Amino acid sequence: MIQSPRGTRDFLPADMERRRFYEGVLRQVAQRSGFREIQTPIFEEAELFILRSGPNILNELYAFKDKGDRDLALRPEMTAPAIRSFVNNMSNDPKPIKIFYFGQCFRYERPQSGRYREFFQFGAEIIGTATPQTDAEVIATALEMIKALGLKEYRVRIGHIGILRKALSRAGVPADRMPEVLQKLDKKLYDEAWPLMEDVGVSKDEADLIFEMTDTVGGIEVLEKVPGEESEYMRQIVSYLEAMGAGIPDIDLGVVRGLDYYTGMVFEAEAPVLGAEKQICGGGSYTLSELFGGEKVFSTGFAVGFDRILLALEKEGSTYPIKKMDAYVIAVSGETTLKAFEIVGMLRRDSISADIDLADRKMAKAMKHASSIGSRFVVIVGSEDLAKNSVTLRDMSSGEQKIVKISDLSAEIRAH
């Protein structure tokens, strides 16, 4: 038996109903906040991701040559494709441009709970401005999405990559070696970061101060430890978040993010219920457009790990409203089958969800099937009722049934 590839999943009807519901919640929040949807290809030129994604992504890239000997790659994240699309199609549009997207990404990594080789991201970007207001708007939108989904326990941490980049530069880490050091600091792998720093001449005392900085988390008072324009910028972000009623996130000077293109504010959201793999959302400010042939444009964005946040909701016992089929139509005998199909067509034209017995089941088995698919009503089409232009309508929750005129059937179902 051929199985689905490792790190991928099949989503069955019940899974898809749940996923579409929560996807819809995210779309509503994005649209309510002025973002408009785009869609980009699942595969792109490999160079798009090689240029500035960082060693983490490059090691996990699904890259291949097509029949024209072109180097392509399945997208490992969706920010780079979004900015490539901006450069190609929207660079002359009035700014700021607010866009959102949803789709699957691919990374070759070890599958585990909440981590897959094919995974889904819901993200948003504001392109064309570099202000505290923009950063606050992005964080507030991400927070509103998490709240709207119904997650009870979560934590948000914001930082500024510029603070850490400046500290590393002062300590003597050259720009070309900074990405690999930041990657280790992002994961708090100090034992692995130290040899890299020592190799470029950083003293142990300087390294320890940087390690201490990346482990500093708290309230707004944390910013007093790193005076400068970045700290003042962060204070402004927090003030705008307060004004919007989004609350005050933790200040974490160790938030790095795993992608090299971040330049300013960075943030992460996590769900403690997930344990070690608890990150559910992350983002920050960056510049990418100049790498893809456009003018330098500042942007801020984020991505929600859709699979992981659904897992967190499941672990918290969250439920969602399941939309049931309105009516299931059963023909009592072969002579009423044609009329039954006429009735199901009528119901569908009246915007009532309706299904019909396609297997010529006996009444008892057809009723059992209607119950198994969760239909709210069963419409029984029999010869005696049809002689009076009527059918029998059975309420599956109460068991009550009554004779209803066919002309009144849609209204009767809609009324309950």
Residue 97 lies in a domain: yes
- Identify the DSSP state of 129: -
Single-letter residue type at 70 = R
- pLDDT of residue 328 exceeding 70: yes
Average pLDDT over residues 182-187: 84
On whether both 151 and 92 belong to a single domain, the answer is: yes
Average pLDDT over the chain reads 93
On whether both 294 and 371 belong to a single domain, the answer is: no
Residue 233 lies in a domain: yes
On whether both 255 and 127 belong to a single domain, the answer is: yes
Q: Residue 230 is inside which H or E element, if any? A: helix 229-243
pLDDT tens digit string along 347-370?
999 999 999 999 999 999 999 999
Residue 234: the pLDDT is 93
- pLDDT of residue 262 exceeding 60: yes
Is 56:183 a contact under the CB 8 Å cutoff?
yes
Average pLDDT over residues 182-186: 85
pLDDT tens digit string along 263-286?
889 999 999 999 888 999 999 999
The boundaries of the domain holding residue 374 are 327-414
On whether both 304 and 340 belong to a single domain, the answer is: no
CB atoms within 10 A of CB 165: 19
Average pLDDT over residues 316-341: 95
Domain count, the chain: 2
Whole-model pTM: value is 0.88
Residue 259 lies in a domain: yes
pLDDT level of residue 183 (50, 70, 90 thresholds): confident
Residue 56: the pLDDT is 63
Average pLDDT over residues 131-159: 96
Q: What are phi and psi of 402, to 5 degrees?
A: -150, 160
Tokens representing residue 381 in the block:
């089409």
Domain termination site, one of 256, 283, 315: 315
Distances (CA, A) of 2 to 5, 6, 301: 9, 12, 39
pLDDT tens digit string along 100-123?
999 999 999 888 888 899 999 999
On whether both 96 and 217 belong to a single domain, the answer is: yes
At which residue do the structure tokens 């510029």 appear? 162
On whether both 302 and 331 belong to a single domain, the answer is: no
Residue 258: the pLDDT is 59
